[in-house]
């Protein structure tokens, strides 16, 4: 099965081509949906087969490389279309195809009746194709192909409803924003790639990493390489300062948000950092930067999430926040914990988004949670699955989010510092609070929507995916039960990924052993805190709704700061966007373009015109004049010949 | 007084220059044609003079060619001039500027 891994890349591409070329002629939504979802489903089965085959092999035989063909062979650069099947890429492949498949099936229901139905499925397939390239690549160039591919697909999908309005502008603007912000990150990633090639003479993962773990390269080189790579990751994975595109990505259809946030694009940065763990482990100072950026992102995004009223916006900030946790994990050297959180997060965040989509679907595109309320009665499936996801993300045991989040918090305490842990826990409490604020305002309490709305449960094609994801959100954490509870076998997930990260682990300085008692104590603290946050949210938003508005008016300045997302977009506009626009308009357009470029082009034309107006006088049409010129010419030539004798 | 080759060459050069001047200055196409004939004949004269001077018949041979070509050219040229006259009702070269773009 492992040798067939390339099918998981070719099948989505085939789905994209079939639906993209013939979709408008097929017209039948069922056929299009089955093709679109089917190719992902088969890919998932292949990935699953590859996983079990790998599982049955001894650890040292678990990595293979499937080479399709040689791509580039220029100078010292040799790049193949080669796919690496190992523990890390298999985990990612299972997440992408598994969660991706569920989202595809859900989309059949969600996008029902949309005039771009076939286009939507073609784009989704292309998205999966790009992401599979990204995670299975065995070299940086192929990874970059997928990296750019998901960027393109996010652009296409965020702007899918290109003719609709979105907030102050249009969905196309949101799509452009996502694309451009990602370009900035990609620039960093490219620089990192160039530096890697310069340092190691190769862009192949195995070569680079084996050299990196033996070679003695100056620490500053590692520092720059990882810094550039991390800039790339901040763009793709929406970290400070490049996170601004993600909330705007809500402009796309909800399944797109689920796909971007849970299974594909934003996890790319985390995956890349994990894949390059050896390089990052060689640059401890950048590891600290990664941890701090991650934690700051987690914290600030959570504070913004508390006050947002758009159901999808809350989830978007929650994603940014959770991604921050993943980078915190990377920064403290807990790579497998980070990947573990990628996985569990994929389950419950996809579930949250699809649940939100189900609600939006039922409420006829209404997205303001202040106009929901009491929806549990009308849509029990959605409500229960949403509740499960909210519990999971809040870190309530034994749901999946608990295991992965607490593992990160534990590592940030053990390998990092008390401060990292403390801020992490506070962020977790805020997460629990705003998730339940969302839940209570949407599904419980009084109905606050108008009589023109008739909420109803979504069709089976949408609720079954919700149920599948709910089951995964519940049991997903059990494969990573921490050592404290599972005894001598240790953390299974950790053991599975250990060979990938062993070189990095060897390089990292781990602090002294901490007792199991401490670990359990920290867990208890965060669980109690999360439970208290949930109860607080219940108290504020169900029992005493006036508290919320009173607090908001009391701390108006602070509330406005959060409501306006720390004015980051405005700052970007003022500091970067507007100056660029002004300079472009006044200097580049009026001077560089109009004067210099147009001037040069028109000047050449004018010069030719001037010369020809002189020469034109010679061309009179009088044959005798031509003859005269000829005679004079001959005379001159003769004279010259005679004089030169 | 013996007539040396220089006399022939000077006469030929004079005739040629008269021809050139005529081609460049005259307006009537037929006169221009006659001037061209004059230039051709001056060349013929030169060739015959050299043939006699060098005791070779090659020059005389060339004269026949030149005369043949000139006759053919005159026939074609006159036909063209007649055709132009039918269209333009003039044979003045300075009024015929259809070569001008």
| Residue A213 covered by a domain | no
Please tell me what DSSP assigns to residue A622: -
Q: Which of A508, A537, A559 is the endpoint of a domain?
A: A508
- Asked if the Cβ–Cβ distance from B24 to A631 is below 8 Å, we say yes
The A-side interface with B (CB below 8 A) comprises: 619-624, 627-628, 631
Residues A470 and A586 in one domain: no
Cα distances from A170 to residues A110, A194, A565, in angstroms, run 21, 36, 20
Residues A342 and A457 in one domain: yes
At A265, the pLDDT band (50, 70, 90 cuts) reads confident
**Rounded distance, CA A114 to CA A589, Å?**
40
Number of domains into which chain A is organized: 2
Residue of B nearest to A628 (CA): B24
Report which of A346, A393, A413 is spatially closest to residue A530, judged by C-alpha positions. A393
Q: Are A248 and A255 within 8 A, CB to CB?
A: no
State the DSSP H helix or E strand holding residue A235, giving kind and residue range, or none if neither.
Answer: helix A219-236
A-chain CB neighbours of B97 within 8 Å are 620-622
Residue A574 phi/psi, 5-degree rounding, is -70, -40
- Please state which of the four CATH numbers 2.60.40.10, 1.10.3720.10, 1.10.287.3510, 1.10.40.50 is assigned to the domain occupying B5-95: 1.10.287.3510
Residues A444 and A328 in one domain: yes
Residues A461 and A580 in one domain: no
Q: Are A35 and A21 within 8 A, CB to CB?
A: no
| Residue A389 covered by a domain | yes
pLDDT tens digits for range A97-129: 999 999 999 999 998 888 889 999 999 999 999
| Residue A414 covered by a domain | yes
Task: Tell me the residue ranges of DSSP E strands in A124-267.
Answer: 165-166, 169-170
Residues A333 and A469 in one domain: yes
Residues A418 and A330 in one domain: yes
Neighbours of A369 (CB within 10 A): 24
Q: Are A84 and A8 within 8 A, CB to CB?
A: no
Q: Which of A490, A508, A526 is the endpoint of a domain?
A: A508
pLDDT tens digits for range B42-96: 999 999 999 999 998 899 999 999 999 999 988 999 999 999 899 888 888 878 7
Number of CB pairs, chain A paired with chain B, less than 8 A apart:
25
pTM assigned to the model: 0.79
Residues A373 and A496 in one domain: yes
At A511, the pLDDT band (50, 70, 90 cuts) reads low
The CA distance from A600 to the nearest CA of chain B, in Å, is 29
The larger pLDDT score, comparing residue A611 to residue A623, is at A611
The CA distance from A149 to the nearest CA of chain B, in Å, is 57
Q: Which residue range(s) make up the domain with A362?
A: 284-508
- Asked if the Cβ–Cβ distance from B93 to A619 is below 8 Å, we say no
Residues A500 and A578 in one domain: no
What is the SS3 assignment for A507? Answer: helix
Residues A460 and A363 in one domain: yes
Residues A592 and A480 in one domain: no
Angle at A140 between CA A138 and CA A145, to 5 degrees: 95
Cα distances from A242 to residues A131, A178, A184, in angstroms, run 20, 10, 8
ipTM above 0.90, yes or no: no
pLDDT tens digits for range A412-465: 888 878 899 999 999 999 999 999 999 999 998 888 887 777 888 888 888 999
Residue A374: which region, alpha, beta or left (left: phi > 0; alpha: psi -120 to 50)? left
Q: Which of A483, A508, A533 is the endpoint of a domain?
A: A508
| Residue A355 covered by a domain | yes
Residues A499 and A586 in one domain: no
A-chain CB neighbours of B94 within 8 Å are 622, 624
Name beta bridge partners: A591: none
B97 interfaces chain A, CB cutoff of 8 Å: yes
| Residue A261 covered by a domain | no
Residues A580 and A494 in one domain: no
Residue A507 confidence (pLDDT): 81
Give the percent of chain A with pLDDT over 90. Answer: 43
Q: Which residues contact A29 (CB under 8 A, 6 or more apart)?
A: A108, A112, A117
A-chain CB neighbours of B13 within 8 Å are none
Predicted confidence (pLDDT) at residue A40 exceeds the cutoff of 60: yes
Residue B101 confidence (pLDDT): 58
Residue B12 confidence (pLDDT): 94
What is the token pair recorded at A13?
């591409």
- Asked if the Cβ–Cβ distance from B101 to A631 is below 8 Å, we say no
The CA distance from A612 to the nearest CA of chain B, in Å, is 13
B93 interfaces chain A, CB cutoff of 8 Å: yes
Cα distances from A64 to residues A59, A138, A206, A592, B76, in angstroms, run 12, 10, 11, 54, 88
Residue A94 confidence (pLDDT): 93
Q: Which residues contact B88 (CB under 8 A, 6 or more apart)?
A: B95, B96
Please give the distance of CA B54 from its chain centroid, rounded to a whole number: 25
Give the percent of chain A with pLDDT over 70. Answer: 98
């Amino acid at each position: 099965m492992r040798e067939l891994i390339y099918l998981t890349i070719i099948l989505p591409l085939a789905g994209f081509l079939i639906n993209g070329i013939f979709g408008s002629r097929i017209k039948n939504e069922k056929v299009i949906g089955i093709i679109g979802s089917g190719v992902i489903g088969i890919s998932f089965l292949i990935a699953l087969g590859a996983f079990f085959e790998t599982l049955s092999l001894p650890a040292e035989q678990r990595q293979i490389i499937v080479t399709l063909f040689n791509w580039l062979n220029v100078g010292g650069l040799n790049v193949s279309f080669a796919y690496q099947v190992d523990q890390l890429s298999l985990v990612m492949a299972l997440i992408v195809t598994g969660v991706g498949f569920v989202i595809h099936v859900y989309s059949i229901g969600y996008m029902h009746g949309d005039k771009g139905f076939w286009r939507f499925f073609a784009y989704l397939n292309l998205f999966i194709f790009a992401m599979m390239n990204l995670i299975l690549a065995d070299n940086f160039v192929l990874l970059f192909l997928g990296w750019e591919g998901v960027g393109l697909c996010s652009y296409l999908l965020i702007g899918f409803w290109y003719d609709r309005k979105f907030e102050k502008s249009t969905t196309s603007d949101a799509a452009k924003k996502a694309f451009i912000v990602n370009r900035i990150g990609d620039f960093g990633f490219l620089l990192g790639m160039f530096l890697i090639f310069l340092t190691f003479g190769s862009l192949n993962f195995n070569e680079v990493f084996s050299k990196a773990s033996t070679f003695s390269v100056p620490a500053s080189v590692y520092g720059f390489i990882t810094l550039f790579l991390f800039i790339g990751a901040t763009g793709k994975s929406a970290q400070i300062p490049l996170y601004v595109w993600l909330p705007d990505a809500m402009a796309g259809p909800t399944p797109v948000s689920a796909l971007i946030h849970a299974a594909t694009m934003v996890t790319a940065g985390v995956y890349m950092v994990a894949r390059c763990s050896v390089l990052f482990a060689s640059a401890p100072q950048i590891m600290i930067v990664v941890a701090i950026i991650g934690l700051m992102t987690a914290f600030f995004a959570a504070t913004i999430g508390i006050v947002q009223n758009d159901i999808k916006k809350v989830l978007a900030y929650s994603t940014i926040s959770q991604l921050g946790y993943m980078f915190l994990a990377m920064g403290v050297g807990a790579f497998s914990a980070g990947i573990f959180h990628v996985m569990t997060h994929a389950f419950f965040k996809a579930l949250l988004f699809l649940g939100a989509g189900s609600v939006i679907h039922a409420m006829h595109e209404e997205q303001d949670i202040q106009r929901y309320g009491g929806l549990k009665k009308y849509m029990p499936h959605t409500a229960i699955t949403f509740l499960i996801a909210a519990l999971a993300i809040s870190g309530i045991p034994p749901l999946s989010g608990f295991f992965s989040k607490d593992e990160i918090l534990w590592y940030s305490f053990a390998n990092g510092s008390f401060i990292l842990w403390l801020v992490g826990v506070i962020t977790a409490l805020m997460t629990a609070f705003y998730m339940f604020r969302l839940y209570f305002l949407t599904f419980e309490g009084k109905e606050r929507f108008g009589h023109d709305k008739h909420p109803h449960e979504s069709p089976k094609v949408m609720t079954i995916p919700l149920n599948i994801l709910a089951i995964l959100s519940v049991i997903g954490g059990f494969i990573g039960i921490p050592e404290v509870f599972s005894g001598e076998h240790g953390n299974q997930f950790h053991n599975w990924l250990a060979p990938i990260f062993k070189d990095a682990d060897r390089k990292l300085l781990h602090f002294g052993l901490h007792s199991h008692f401490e670990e359990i104590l920290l867990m208890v603290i965060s669980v109690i805190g999360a439970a208290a946050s949930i109860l607080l949210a219940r108290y504020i938003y169900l029992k005493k709704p006036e508290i919320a508005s009173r607090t908001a008016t009391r701390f108006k300045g602070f509330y406005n700061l959060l409501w306006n997302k720390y004015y980051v977009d405005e700052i970007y506009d003022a500091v970067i966007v507007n100056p660029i626009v002004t300079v472009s308009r006044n200097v580049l357009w009026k001077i560089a373009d109009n004067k210099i470029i147009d001037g040069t082009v028109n000047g050449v034309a004018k010069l030719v015109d001037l010369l020809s107006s002189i020469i034109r006088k010679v061309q009179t049409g009088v044959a005798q004049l031509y003859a005269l010129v000829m005679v004079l010419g001959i005379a001159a030539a003769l004279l010259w010949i005679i004089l030169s004798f | 007084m013996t007539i040396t080759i220089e006399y022939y060459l000077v006469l030929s050069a004079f005739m040629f220059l008269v021809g050139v001047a005529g081609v460049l200055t005259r307006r009537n196409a037929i006169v221009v044609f006659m001037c061209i004939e004059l230039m051709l004949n001056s060349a013929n004269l030169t060739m015959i003079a050299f043939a006699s001077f060098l005791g070779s018949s090659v020059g005389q041979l060339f004269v026949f060619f030149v005369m043949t070509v000139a006759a053919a050219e005159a026939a074609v040229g006159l036909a063209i001039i007649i055709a132009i006259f039918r269209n333009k009702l003039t044979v003045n070269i300075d009024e015929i500027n259809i070569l001008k773009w």
